[in-house]
C-alpha cells in the first residue's frame, strides 16, 4: 500500500512499516509531500522518521493502538460491515443530548454506551452529541486535549468501537454528532510541529501558538483539518460535527476556514444523499456564524447560545459572579430578550469583558433552530469548582421549570447526560496526563484558579485522581427511584409535546411573545396557540395571562408539573410554587 506524509521542511523522511524501513521520495506533483510503497495491512504498526529523528505517528493516523505517543496502525475502513442504511436526520427539528463516552457508563467505552442508547430513544431525543473522541494521553479525560485529529481514542474502543456505536444509534433512529477541536491540540503527545508549520506565532491563543490557518504553509494545514472533518462524516457515517470554540480560530484570510468547511460539508451532504450539519460553539454572539454563505455569513447550520443559558441560570439560581453579572441584574428580562432575539449581548455593554459585545440578530432572517438552547452543558457544569449540577442546589420543581423552558422554547434544545433525571452525580474536571510535570501544572492551576475565588485548596478535586473521574460517572440506578423517576417522566412528556405540536417547531423568533414579573418570579411566553408559564418563586403565583387567542376561555392544560387548572374567565392562572405548565388555546 502507499503511504504519504506532508513534511515540507524535511531533508529526508523514512517510513517504518511492519518493522521494515523504507526511504520515502518527494512527490513530484505536490510540494512538500513524501511517498513510499510498503507491504502492510489492517492493524500493522507504522510511523515516520523525519531527518533521522525518532519514530513519530502519522499526522493523519486513523488509529493509535498504543496511545498518542506510540506508532500508528493501518485501518481498513471498508472492513466494517454496516448493519443499517441511514437516511439521516436534520438538525432543524432536533433534540440534542450531549454525552461523554468515558463517564456515561462506569465502563467508559463505546460498547457500554451503545448498550444504554435505548434509554435515549425512549426519552425521545433525536441526536447524540458526543464529546471529543480523538486520542489523548492516558485513559480518562474530557477529550479536548486530543492530538490526532483523524483517529479514535483506543480505550473507548477505537475506530470499530465508534462504528458500532453509530450503527446502534442509527438502528434506534438516533443521529450522531461529534465534537471536534480545531483551535488547539495537545499539548502532550503533539508531534505535528516535527512535520511542518501546523502552528504559527503570528497569532497568540490561550494554548500558545495558533493553528496555522493564514500564515505560510496554511493551505496544507487547512486541507488537513478539512480532510479530517469530512473523514468523520464519511467513514463513520456521522450526522454532524460540533466545532469547539470557533472564536479561537485565528484566521485573517478573505475566505475563512469556516466558510471552506461549511461549503465542503454541504457538498458532501449532496454526494452522500443525506443531511449533514455543523454546530459552532462561539463566544462572539454573532449571527453571521450561521448566516448562509450566499448572504455573507459563514454558513454553519447552528450555534450554541450561552446567553440563553446564562439568563436561565441566573433566573434559577440567583448567581451573579463572573459572566453572570450582566444577566443577574434582571434575569427574567434577560431571559425574555434571549427567547425573542437570541442574544442578550447584541451590541450591549458586557461588564465581564469591560466592553460592548455582540451583534443584533435579524429575527426575520435567522430561524430560531439555528441557535441551540440548554440549561446545562459539560462546560457549565465541569468548569465549576466542584462540578456540581443544577440538581445539587435546585428542587425538582425548579429543574422541571428549566426543562420546560428549554424543551418548549424556540431554540434547538440540548440536554447534558443525566440531566433528564436530575442526576446527583457531579461532573468534574478530570485528566490522566502521563507527563508528570504537565499533570502537576494542571493540578496546581486548577487549585490556584478557584483559590482566587475563595475555595480552599483541599476542596478542589484533584483532576489526576482516578476517583474524580469515577465520581463523574452516571449512576444508572437513580432513574428507577424518586424524585428522579418523576423528573424523567416529565422530560419524556415535554419532548413528546415538542415532537407532535407544530407551534413548538415555529422558527420565527419575532412571533414569540413574553410576559414576566421580576419580583413575583414568574415568566411566560406564547408560541402560536401555546403558552408556557413557570413560577420560580417558593410561593403560589396568580398570573394574569388574559384570555386565549380567540377569547373563548383560558385554554386547556397540556402538561403540568403540579396539578393546576386552566385560567378561568378572568384569565388569571393560579400556579403552585416552583412549578410550570403548558397551555393550549381552546
Q: Is 244 a catalytic residue?
A: yes
Q: What is the dihedral of CA 56, 57, 60, 62, to 10 degrees?
A: 170
> Please, where are the H alpha helices in 342-387?
378-382
Catalytic hit among 58, 179, 244, 585: 244
pTM of the entire predicted model:
0.96
Place of cell 443525566: 418
Percent of the residues in the chain that have a pLDDT greater than 70, as a whole number: 99
Choose among 309, 308, 330, 491: nearest CA to 396. 491
Instruction: Give the C-alpha distances (Å, rounded to integers) separating 540 from 532, 578, 579.
Output: 16, 8, 9
Residue 484: pLDDT over 70: yes
The 10s digit of each residue's pLDDT in 332-354 is 999 999 999 999 999 999 999 99
Instruction: Give the C-alpha distances (Å, rounded to integers) separating 366 from 245, 258, 341, 372, 421.
Output: 21, 19, 9, 13, 32
* 8 Å CB contact between 156 and 133: yes
* 8 Å CB contact between 375 and 312: yes
The 10s digit of each residue's pLDDT in 441-465 is 889 888 888 887 778 888 899 999 9
Question: What is the mean pLDDT of the segment spanning 532-559?
Answer: 82
Predicted local distance difference test score (pLDDT) of residue 550: 46
Residue 549: pLDDT over 70: no
Per DSSP, the three-state class of 48 is strand
Residue 3: pLDDT over 60: yes
Cell numbers describing residue 66: 498504543
In the chain, what's the furthest Cα-to-Cα distance? 87
Catalytic hit among 167, 179, 281, 432: 281
Question: What is the mean pLDDT of the segment spanning 3-32?
Answer: 96
* 8 Å CB contact between 277 and 298: no
DSSP annotation string for 328-344: HTSHHHHHHHHHHHS-S
Predicted local distance difference test score (pLDDT) of residue 554: 59
Residue 535: pLDDT over 50: yes
Predicted local distance difference test score (pLDDT) of residue 214: 97
Find the helix packing angle between 218-235 and 257-272, rounded to 10°: 30
- What count of residues does the chain have? 586
Separation of alpha carbons 304 and 306, rounded Å: 6
The 10s digit of each residue's pLDDT in 65-119 is 999 999 999 999 999 999 989 999 999 999 999 999 999 999 999 999 999 999 9
Separation of alpha carbons 23 and 16, rounded Å: 9
Separation of alpha carbons 258 and 261, rounded Å: 5
The 10s digit of each residue's pLDDT in 259-287 is 999 999 999 999 999 999 999 999 999 99
The dihedral region occupied by 103, where left means phi > 0, alpha psi between -120 and 50, and beta the remainder, is alpha
Question: What is the mean pLDDT of the segment spanning 208-218?
Answer: 94
* 8 Å CB contact between 249 and 289: no
| Residue 287 exposure: Cα atoms within 13 Å on the Cβ side | 20
Which domains, and CATH codes, for the chain? 2-56 (2.60.40.10), 91-499 (3.20.20.80), 505-584 (2.60.40.1180)
Residue 552: pLDDT over 60: no
Residue 183: pLDDT over 90: yes
Residue 399: pLDDT over 60: yes
Residue 370: pLDDT over 60: yes
Predicted local distance difference test score (pLDDT) of residue 453: 72
The 10s digit of each residue's pLDDT in 557-586 is 999 999 999 998 888 999 999 999 999 997
Separation of alpha carbons 581 and 563, rounded Å: 9
- Assess whether the previous peptide bond of 386 is cis (omega < 30° from 0): no
Residue 262 CB contacts under 8 Å (≥ 6 apart), including other chains: 278, 293, 298, 299, 300, 301
Amino acid at each position: 500500500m502507499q503511504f504519504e506524509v506532508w513534511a515540507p521542511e524535511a531533508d529526508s523522511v523514512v517510513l517504518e512499516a511492519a518493522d521494515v524501513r523504507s526511504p520515502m521520495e518527494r512527490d513530484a506533483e505536490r510540494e512538500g509531500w513524501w511517498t513510499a510503497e510498503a507491504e502492510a495491512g489492517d492493524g500493522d504498526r507504522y510511523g515516520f522518521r523525519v531527518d533521522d529523528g525518532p519514530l513519530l505517528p502519522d499526522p493523519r493516523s486513523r488509529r493509535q493502538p498504543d496511545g498518542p505517543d506510540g506508532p500508528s496502525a493501518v485501518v481498513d475502513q471498508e472492513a466494517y460491515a454496516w448493519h443499517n442504511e441511514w437516511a439521516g436526520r436534520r438538525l432543524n427539528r432536533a433534540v440534542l443530548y450531549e454525552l461523554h463516552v468515558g463517564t456515561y457508563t462506569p465502563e467508559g467505552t463505546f460498547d457500554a454506551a451503545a448498550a444504554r442508547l435505548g434509554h435515549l430513544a425512549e426519552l425521545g431525543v433525536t441526536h447524540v452529541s458526543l464529546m471529543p473522541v480523538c486520542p489523548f494521553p492516558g485513559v480518562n479525560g474530557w477529550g479536548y486535549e486530543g492530538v490526532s485529529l483523524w483517529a479514535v481514542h483506543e480505550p473507548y474502543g477505537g475506530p470499530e468501537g465508534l462504528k458500532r456505536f453509530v450503527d446502534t444509534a442509527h438502528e434506534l433512529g438516533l443521529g450522531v454528532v461529534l465534537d471536534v477541536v480545531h483551535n488547539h491540540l495537545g499539548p502532550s503527545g503533539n508531534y505535528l510541529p516535527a512535520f511542518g508549520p501546523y502552528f504559527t506565532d503570528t497569532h497568540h491563543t490561550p494554548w500558545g501558538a495558533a493553528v496555522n490557518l493564514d500564515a505560510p504553509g496554511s493551505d496544507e494545514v487547512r486541507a488537513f483539518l478539512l480532510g479530517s472533518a469530512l473523514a468523520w462524516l464519511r467513514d463513520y457515517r456521522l450526522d454532524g460535527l460540533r466545532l469547539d470554540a470557533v472564536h479561537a480560530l485565528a484566521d485573517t484570510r478573505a475566505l475563512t476556514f469556516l466558510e471552506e468547511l461549511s461549503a465542503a460539508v454541504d457538498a458532501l451532504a449532496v454526494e452522500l444523499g443525506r443531511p449533514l450539519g455543523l454546530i459552532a460553539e462561539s463566544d462572539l454572539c454573532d449571527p453571521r456564524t450561521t448566516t448562509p454563505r450566499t448572504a455573507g455569513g459563514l454558513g454553519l447550520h447552528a450555534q450554541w447560545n450561552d446567553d440563553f443559558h446564562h439568563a436561565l441560570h441566573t433566573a434559577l439560581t440567583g448567581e451573579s459572579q463572573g459572566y453572570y453579572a450582566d444577566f443577574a441584574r434582571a434575569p427574567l428580562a434577560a431571559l425574555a430578550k434571549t427567547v425573542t432575539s437570541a442574544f442578550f449581548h447584541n451590541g450591549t455593554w458586557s461588564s465581564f469583558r469591560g466592553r460592548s459585545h455582540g451583534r443584533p440578530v435579524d429575527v426575520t432572517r435567522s430561524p430560531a433552530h439555528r441557535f441551540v438552547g440548554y440549561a446545562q452543558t459539560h462546560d457549565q457544569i465541569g468548569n465549576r469548582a466542584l462540578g456540581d449540577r443544577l440538581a445539587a442546589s435546585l428542587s425538582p420543581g425548579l429543574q422541571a421549570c428549566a426543562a420546560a423552558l428549554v424543551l418548549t422554547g424556540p431554540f434547538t434544545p440540548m440536554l447534558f447526560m443525566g440531566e433528564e433525571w436530575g442526576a446527583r452525580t457531579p461532573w468534574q474536571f478530570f485528566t490522566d496526563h502521563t507527563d508528570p510535570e504537565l499533570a502537576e501544572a494542571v493540578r496546581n492551576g486548577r487549585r490556584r484558579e478557584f483559590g482566587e475565588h475563595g475555595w480552599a485548596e483541599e476542596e478542589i478535586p484533584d483532576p489526576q485522581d482516578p476517583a474524580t473521574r469515577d465520581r463523574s460517572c452516571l449512576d444508572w440506578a437513580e432513574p428507577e427511584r424518586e424524585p428522579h423517576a418523576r423528573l424523567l417522566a416529565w422530560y419524556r412528556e415535554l419532548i413528546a409535546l415538542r415532537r407532535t405540536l407544530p407551534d413548538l417547531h415555529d422558527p420565527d423568533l419575532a412571533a414569540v411573545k413574553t410576559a414576566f414579573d421580576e419580583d413575583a418570579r414568574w415568566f411566560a411566553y406564547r408560541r402560536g396557540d401555546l403558552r408556557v408559564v413557570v413560577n420560580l418563586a417558593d410561593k403560589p403565583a396568580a398570573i394574569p395571562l388574559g384570555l386565549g387567542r380567540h377569547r373563548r376561555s383560558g385554554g386547556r392544560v397540556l402538561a403540568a408539573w403540579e396539578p393546576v387548572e386552566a385560567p378561568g374567565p378572568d384569565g388569571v392562572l393560579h400556579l403552585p410554587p416552583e412549578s410550570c405548565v403548558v397551555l393550549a388555546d381552546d
